[in-house]
Amino acid sequence: MAEEWLDCPALGPGWKRREVFRKSGATCGRSDTYYQSPTGDRIRSKVELTRYLGPACDLTLFDFKRGVLRYLNPKAQALAAPGRKRKKPARPVKAQPCPVVPDRAEATKETPRDETKTMTHTDTDAAPASLPAPGCCENCGIRFSVDVTRRQRLKTLCKDCRARRIAFNREQRMFKRVGCGECTACQVTEDCGTCSTCLLQLPHEVASGLFCKCEQRRCLRIVEKHLAHRLRRHHQRGQRRAPLAVAPPAGKLARRKGGRDPKIAAARRRPQTQPLSLPPLLQAIELHPRALAPSPPAEFIYYCVDEDELQPYTNRRQNRKCGSCTACLRRTDCGRCDFCCDKPKFGGSNQKRQKCRWRQCLQFAMKRLLPSVCAGPEDGAELLPPCRRHRKPVSARRPRLGPTLKSPLAMSISCPGQAQAPMKQEAGSSFVLPPPGTDLVFLREGAGSPVPVPGPASSTEAPLQVKQEKVDAQDDWTSGPAVLISPVLRPGCPSKTGDPILPRVKQEPRDPEEDRAVSRNDSASDSAVEEEAGGAGTPVITEIFSLGGSRFRDTAVWLPRQEMEAPGWSWSPRGWPGARGGLPPPPASMIRLSCRNSWCPSSQT
DNA sequence: GCCAACGTTGGC
DNA sequence: GCCAACGTTGGC
């Protein structure tokens, strides 16, 4: 079945249909059918199509999977009102009830998409949020309209070229997975049976993907491409690379999936007949441009490949769930966070497609921000792969504060056995150490203005977000600078109102479920503090801003190990003015969160 | 480098 | 079949 867009006359002029086969995963081989309206909207299901066309359009005879009308000649019949192709109700601003049947021309790319809608709208229609701007496709040169305000991929391409580009990219991804089929490695038809991957004997359905293949069968072109990419990144970063990634031992591979998948568990139980070893040439080598020239053998290239790509499991989606934290156990969406608001069921446009922030795994979030801290065995940590400082998952290497790192962060992670490790001094570094007696300090690297936040941190399950944002939502902010304070103001941390160096700290409304949980645990003093803080409850730091509107890219947060379990964060327009320079080193009881470099004392060498 | 957008896959 | 949401890509 072709995976390109094909005309779907059953739905009317301009409608296209596409069937996509899943290429990997447990449902590999299954197909999904998508439709594209004349105006470019994508429909993924019959429900969406029904919603899109409106109640006046009866789809009971329409075979969504096949794209034809049942019991009728699909070529001779079109749905009664093909023009009732409106925006989905999920996008209420643009949804319109009574369109006029468009003609074929409206489906062409010469007709601006939004203009088409505007032409067919009634007088009561709301004006479009943005007017399309005419442009020429950078590929074919044809004129097409662009919604200048919409952030859209490949918007310099017309609709057709864009679809082709996406299809091409998809092919490239497929190529990446299966290989070129032409090189000598791709010509090998049988596994060697002796390489580390073969020794793992992973079930085929589990171990799909290029780097799950026998080492002798890994496409040389792809491996070379990876190597070139790694070298470019190496030069770009100007950093000495971590020791070469090697084929992961069986134990590590098994841990990555937490042993929850029976197939993986079975693979894990298989005895290792031979010790896994690295080729002698590679045992003590690091990736360095000089070491790679001029033409490394395939085996060498393979061992230079990113360790992440050696991961044999394509089903990495479950890595985001520990299954045991409060967030994972939560069953309902809050309906208020930005991701919930994006969901169709809450009236959103389904563009972000992310899990409710309150349901995003706390362990996962913590591992991303504090990869070395969370290696302890407690609190479900064993369900997730242990963090390793020298190598993090791809998505974790960038300490993103976007959909990933903005996720609620459990502040209850403690580091038994690690707290006594000596804190490394970053002599000459740009960040400023916290003063004595300070339990939590916001530091801005290079700014030299510490903002300590004393006292107990969040409750065990309290999510914490440190979000980068522009200062453009003033209505969400209280007046004046604010820092987080604990229910108990610590001595040595004087408060000061209106200090211009202090960051603004925004707190989200308390989650109702968390409210109930916290109410069972919190003391009366906490309530008093909440009252003082205007009823704020669960400590959710959502955003940290500088007063000048600059983003706190280099924000660091000092957290007290001993008091992470304490409940009752609140916020107040009080702060500590800080001291510049001459600050003593932080106590070993502190750990530091940084947007860029997450580390705790024990992670430093 | 961050993150919005969205293709894709898991699971009910 | 449908929805949730993971993971990647491209825009900025």
Q: Which of chain A's residues 34-73 bind strand B, using a 7 Å CB cutoff? A: 34, 42, 44
Q: What pLDDT is attached to residue A347? A: 82
**What are the structure tokens assigned to A412, written together?**
């209850």
- Work out if A228's Cβ lies within 7 angstroms of strand B: no
Residue A410 CB neighbour total at 10 angstroms: 28
Residue A295 CB neighbour total at 10 angstroms: 8
- Work out if A597's Cβ lies within 7 angstroms of strand B: no
Q: Average pLDDT of chain A?
A: 48
Residue A589 CB neighbour total at 10 angstroms: 16
Q: What pLDDT is attached to residue A197? A: 59
- Work out if A353's Cβ lies within 7 angstroms of strand C: yes
Closest CA to A408 of A484, A460, A455, A353: A460
Q: What pLDDT is attached to residue A89? A: 35
Strands A441-444 and A555-560, by their bridges, are: antiparallel
Q: What pLDDT is attached to residue A388? A: 33
Q: Nearest nt to A400, CA vs C1'?
A: B2
Per-residue pLDDT for A4 more than 50? yes
- Work out if A235's Cβ lies within 7 angstroms of strand B: no
Closest CA to A470 of A408, A547, A356, A357: A547
Question: For A531 and C8, how far is CA from C1' in angstroms?
Answer: 44
Per-residue pLDDT for A113 more than 60? no
| CB A320 within 8 Å of CB A364 | yes
Q: Nearest nt to A152, CA vs C1'?
A: B5
Q: Which residue is nearest to nucleotide C1 (CA to C1')?
A: A45
Q: Nearest nt to A404, CA vs C1'?
A: B3
- Work out if A263's Cβ lies within 7 angstroms of strand C: no
More confident position, A457 or A10: A10
Q: Which of chain A's residues 303-332 bind strand C, using a 7 Å CB cutoff? A: 316-317, 319-321
Per-residue pLDDT for A543 more than 60? no
Question: For A11 and C7, how far is CA from C1' in angstroms?
Answer: 32
User: Which letter does DSSP use for residue A343 in this model?
Assistant: S
Which stretches within A79-153 are classed as H helix? 104-107, 113-120
Per-residue pLDDT for A320 more than 50? yes
Q: Which residue is nearest to nucleotide C12 (CA to C1')?
A: A151
A167 confidence band (pLDDT: 50, 70, 90): low
Q: What pLDDT is attached to residue A412? A: 31
Q: Which residues contact A497 (CB under 8 A, 6 or more apart)?
A: A480, A573, A574, A575
Strand partners, A42: A36
3-state helix, strand, coil in chain A (%, to 5): 30, 10, 60
Distance CA A200, CA A188 (A): 19
Q: What pLDDT is attached to residue A244? A: 31
Per-residue pLDDT for A590 more than 50? no
Q: State which nucleotides on strand B lie below 7 Å from a protein beta carbon.
A: 1-11
- A372-A374-A377-A383 Cα dihedral, nearest 10 degrees: -110
Closest CA to A364 of A392, A336, A333: A392
Per-residue pLDDT for A331 more than 50? yes
Count how many Cα atoms sit within 13 Å of the Cα of residue A227 in the half-sphere of its side chain: 24
Q: What pLDDT is attached to residue A332? A: 82
